[in-house]
Structure 1
Amino acid sequence: MADTCTLHLLHTNDLHSHFATMPRIATCLRTCREEWERSGDCVLTVDIGDHMDRMDIKSEATYGKTNVGVMNRSGYQYATIGNNEGITLTKEKLDQLYEEAMFTVITTNLHDAASCTQPQWAVPYTIHEFADLRVALLGVTIPFVSSYRSMGWEIAEPLPVIQAQVAALRSQADVIVLLSHLGYQTDCWVAQEVDGLDVILGAHTHHTLLHGEHIAGTLVAQTGRFGEYVGHVKLGWDRDAKRLASVSAELFATKDYPEDEQLRSFIEKEQEAAQKKLFHPFTNLEHDLQVGWSEETAFGSFLAASIRKWTGAEIGLANGGLLLADLHRGGLSFGDLLQSIPHPISACAVTLTGEQLMSMLEQSIQPEMVHRELRGYGFRGKVEGWMAVDGLYIRYIAGEHPHILEIEVNGKPLVADQEYRVGTVDMFMYNRLFPDLLQGTHIQFFLPETLREVIARTVTDQALLQNAFLPRWEPVPSP
């Protein structure tokens, strides 16, 4: 018998419903597994979350069940969830997501808020036993505490949970692997703080680590995003010394593998079914709603008005870059809304002083902010765009250095020390684009509905639509 047992970990992360790469990933997972198992090696296949993204029509139409079907057909054995699974699905839909999963979901830091118990579709850890190797797997996801709590979940800070779990499992396992949807920076911190953790397979921040990074005795690995790569971690276990003799990481380019034809056919059928389900008109528009990122538009004003109505606020704010495609006069389907507003972003409300509101709006109209490229926190567009408003009338000096002259709030002058309830988008609470917003109080998240689901409810309000065509911003030429 050889002195060394070899374990291969094949891992993916942040596919975000990029289904075009998945048939190639399936081939990679299958061919590698077959080759290594013929040689007597041990193999595990895992996904580290955000496999699903509701911006894709198939994921939206099935609330992620198409993704689970793909994972089943690809041969995954274990997975943890990302924020796209955890907080863009209702609690009911997340409870149903993995009903037909042929793999084990691991969530070490997530619990049902009402019962304080583990979700019925997941385990807090598992120990995978090979003939002469025991591999413990944990799974943690990023703790967006307020958002999870709004959905009926409790999400724990990961470090104490990981430390306790690793300490408990160290005597029961030869190798401990963490499936981490926390992000690269946090993974590096965890590696330094937790003794006895052998491998962290990471996600969330879309880092491409060609050969991983060795930090304080722990290998940190991540594969980028969208399925461009499949990660491979190779571990050599010394049977006699009872320790890891070697640890290495590499990435396999997905484009180098042929498509799995059966999986491709499954995805095509799911696409056809989703088209039939979502592109069925539910109302009619009397006027076009057009996108415009660098100027005020009726579409933007309608989004701001819809958020204001949804949150019951005095004021509505939404950046125009959230709108990606025009809505045309005539029949309107939910598929049209998905194409126009694909983001897994929801409404929220916050209380600001007049001074804070003025400062935020002043910042929002600066050219560098209007044209600023945005990434992450659910945003699926390109730039910030012009700030759409409702409940406000603003006179401002236009030009290269714009400046606000005066603001009316529902017909009355803005008062600097008065408090106002503002409805806006939850993305702003995470991306820190507007510091004044973060200084606000009484923050409330309106989950689980996404912005497109809000629009689907408000678009039949003819008065709201008609008022959206009235200007809110009045440019005044520079003196």
Structure 2
Amino acid sequence: MISSRILLAGLFCLCPFSLAQKIEPDPKNTLIIISTSDIHGNLDKFPKLATLVKKYRSKFPHVLLMDSGDYFMGNPFVDDWEKPGLPITILMNKLGYDAATIGNHDMDYGQTALRDHIKGMPGTKFVVTNLSPSPPLENCFLPYASIPIKGTPISVGVIGLVDMQTTDILKMDGITWKLPNETDYKGVMDRFRLHHNTINVILSHMGYDHDLKMMKYSPNIDVILGGHTHVMLPKGHLRTGTLLSHTGHRLSYAGVTKIIFSTDKKPAVLSKSTEAVSLDPLPDDPEVKEIVRQFTSNPFFNQQVAIAKEEITHVTIGRYFCKAIQKAANADIAIYNRGGVRAKTHLSKGPVTIKDVYEMEPFRETVVTCKMTKADIEQLILTKFMAPMEKEGGMLEVYCAGFSYQIMDGINPSITSTLRDGVIYTVAMGDYLCNNFNFPQQGEGCAVGKSVRQALISYLMQLKELVNPPPTQLPIIRKTTFSL
């Protein structure tokens, strides 16, 4: 749930390899790994991805296609298909993925839907190493996979690591998992050594910062294909002998990693490089384009509900969510989690359709209410602000309607609000926030019989024209200390 970043970082080469090495590749001694991550249901780019895959398969005999998770959630043509997720299953199967791990959003349809996706791709090895599955997902994951490269003594070992911290707790029933620590990262190489593969790859849905830690504590992994935080590394990082690739999200780019190896008595990796390849300039594969057209032809999603008179910011959209559910629940106030508003960074100027609404709210949340005091509400907001999760603490995480608040950030953050002492408020919220945020009434929401989508569509149709309100007071005040 973290916004896109483009990191144009320098390359720190603490190993014999160099991204700048000029070794003329012999196709027979070259492995190409095409990688994707955080697809989030973006069907439109699959025809271009198919073109890229076919291009490399026609030139190189050894090509693997891999994904690092979050293929679901973010496109109504996928999320609201009669069988949620099926369009992605069909397209990934069509392209012939060799290996994949899961992401935190791949559980959003429920465990049965994820199991059906995995069973629908029998040629793909799904590798998840730091998770113990529930009964519905038994026999779906491998803790480790080995992929032989035909006609060579080379084999590729694959581990999958996932971060499930933000997955809805109700979707994780029976599943246990562990966020790797320094000791776990150091043990990764032991697992690779046990299987004696020439090339070792980690499919990581841990995020950029965790991948850097893994490189530090587990040197000489050949490749980490990362995801989760939507970072884009144009040429990757090469540090401690490990090549790290991140390619953003929604198939704007795909990773192309090239590994040149020797097949002597002791097979070895000679060089490795990676790049994020833009899919936009590529032509569409006609066959895959026709499959996509069949999935995206529902006219229901083109119905207009409002018009944006200007580019609408994420903060404004968050306020619309809050005002919509406040009205739907006839509540005193409303709160909504920032991560539940899935607009990219803004809503473009022009017609706003049902498809736009479903993209902004792909989770099909329901509206619930809780009875809360001022202290309860402020505790919820401040606790989330101080959350220890990477990239979550110290951020505006809760949008609101019916009141305002400010956080004074510092060593000991504090909060003030326009809420009144001695009042019991009826607070509208989405069911995800109710079940997953830490506050006294957690999990005790009273359903009002309406979905967030229904509330939002009704509210936007009432507004008709959308504009950004004038700027309000800053919700977060940073404490500044001066020293002489």
CA distance in 1, matches of 2:449, 2:193: 46
Q: Quick one: which of 244, 258, 262 aligns to 1:234? A: 258
> What corresponds to 1:34 in structure 2?
58
Alignment of 1:211-250 (within 5 A): 211-238=235-262, 239-250=264-275
CA distance in 1, matches of 2:27, 2:292: 44
CA distance in 2, matches of 1:452, 1:184: 40
> What corresponds to 1:183 in structure 2?
207
* DSSP 3-state at the match of 2:80: helix
Q: Quick one: which of 12, 18, 43 aligns to 2:63? A: 43
Q: Cα gap change, 1:264/1:395 in structure 2, threshold over 3 Å: closer, same or farther?
A: closer
CA distance in 2, matches of 1:279, 1:264: 20
Q: Give the aligned CA root-mean-square deviation in angstroms.
A: 5.2
- Matched to 1:245, the amino acid is L
Q: Quick one: which of 111, 121, 126 aligns to 2:132? A: 111
TM-superposed deviation, 1:85? 0.9
CA distance in 2, matches of 1:120, 1:346: 32
Q: Do 2:370 and 2:428's aligned partners in 1 also have CA atoms closer than 8 Å?
A: yes
CA distance in 2, matches of 1:323, 1:7: 36
Q: Quick one: which of 144, 169, 190 aligns to 1:167? A: 190
* Structure 1: tracts of 5 or more residues without a match: 286-290, 327-332, 370-375, 378-382, 397-402, 431-436, 460-479
Q: Do 2:336 and 2:430's aligned partners in 1 also have CA atoms closer than 8 Å?
A: yes
> What corresponds to 2:374 in structure 1?
354
Q: Cα gap change, 1:32/1:349 in structure 2, threshold over 3 Å: closer, same or farther?
A: farther
- Matched to 2:375, the amino acid is E
Q: Cα gap change, 1:3/1:70 in structure 2, threshold over 3 Å: closer, same or farther?
A: closer
TM-superposed deviation, 1:234? 1.4
* DSSP 3-state at the match of 1:268: helix
* DSSP 3-state at the match of 1:256: coil
TM-superposed deviation, 1:105? 1.9
Cα distance per residue 1:116-150 (max 9 Å; x no partner): x9633332221001231011111122131773564
> What corresponds to 2:44 in structure 1?
20
- Matched to 2:296, the amino acid is Q
1:203 equivalenced with 2:235 (yes/no)? no
Q: Cα gap change, 1:271/1:452 in structure 2, threshold over 3 Å: closer, same or farther?
A: farther
> What corresponds to 1:271 in structure 2?
296
CA distance in 1, matches of 2:67, 2:444: 29
Q: Cα gap change, 1:112/1:406 in structure 2, threshold over 3 Å: closer, same or farther?
A: closer
* Structure 2: tracts of 5 or more residues without a match: 1-25, 306-311, 348-352, 386-390, 406-415, 457-484
* DSSP 3-state at the match of 1:152: coil
TM-superposed deviation, 1:346? 7.4
TM-superposed deviation, 1:112? 2.6
> What corresponds to 1:123 in structure 2?
142
- Matched to 1:30, the amino acid is K
> What corresponds to 2:459 in structure 1?
none
1:317 equivalenced with 2:330 (yes/no)? no
CA distance in 2, matches of 1:295, 1:213: 36
Q: Do 1:138 and 1:178's aligned partners in 2 also have CA atoms closer than 8 Å?
A: yes
Matched pairs, number: 398
> What corresponds to 2:423 in structure 1?
413
Q: Do 1:351 and 1:441's aligned partners in 2 also have CA atoms closer than 8 Å?
A: no
- Matched to 1:269, the amino acid is Q
> What corresponds to 2:451 in structure 1?
454
Q: Do 2:260 and 2:271's aligned partners in 1 also have CA atoms closer than 8 Å?
A: yes
Q: Do 1:227 and 1:254's aligned partners in 2 also have CA atoms closer than 8 Å?
A: yes
Q: Do 1:142 and 1:181's aligned partners in 2 also have CA atoms closer than 8 Å?
A: yes
TM-score (norm 2): 0.65
Q: Do 1:48 and 1:79's aligned partners in 2 also have CA atoms closer than 8 Å?
A: yes
TM-superposed deviation, 1:63? 1.1
CA distance in 2, matches of 1:231, 1:307: 46
Q: Cα gap change, 1:414/1:80 in structure 2, threshold over 3 Å: closer, same or farther?
A: same
* DSSP 3-state at the match of 2:284: coil
Alignment of 1:84-103 (within 5 A): 84-86=105-107, 88-101=108-121, 102-103=123-124
CA distance in 2, matches of 1:57, 1:126: 32
Q: Do 1:27 and 1:260's aligned partners in 2 also have CA atoms closer than 8 Å?
A: yes
TM-superposed deviation, 1:297? 8.5
1:81 equivalenced with 2:102 (yes/no)? yes
TM-superposed deviation, 1:180? 0.6
Cα distance per residue 1:419-446 (max 9 Å; x no partner): x99855646999xxxxxx76x4574498
Q: Do 2:366 and 2:452's aligned partners in 1 also have CA atoms closer than 8 Å?
A: no
Q: Do 1:178 and 1:200's aligned partners in 2 also have CA atoms closer than 8 Å?
A: yes
Q: Cα gap change, 1:317/1:210 in structure 2, threshold over 3 Å: closer, same or farther?
A: closer
- Matched to 1:170, the amino acid is R
Quote the sequence identity (%).
19
TM-score (norm 1): 0.66
